[in-house]
Amino acid sequence: MITTEQKFEVCEAILEFAEKKGIEYEDAVDMFMEVLNYESGDRR
State residue 27's pLDDT score: 94
Judged against a pLDDT cut of 90, whether residue 4 lies above it is answered with: yes
Judged against a pLDDT cut of 90, whether residue 19 lies above it is answered with: yes
For residue 21, what are the contacts with CB-CB under 8 A and spacing of at least 6?
Answer: none
C-alpha distances out from residue 12 to 5, 8, 18, 38, Å: 11, 6, 10, 22
Q: What is the mean pLDDT of residues 5-10?
A: 94
State residue 40's pLDDT score: 74
Rounded-to-integer distance, Cα 23 and Cα 29, Å: 10
Q: What is the mean pLDDT of residues 12-32?
A: 93
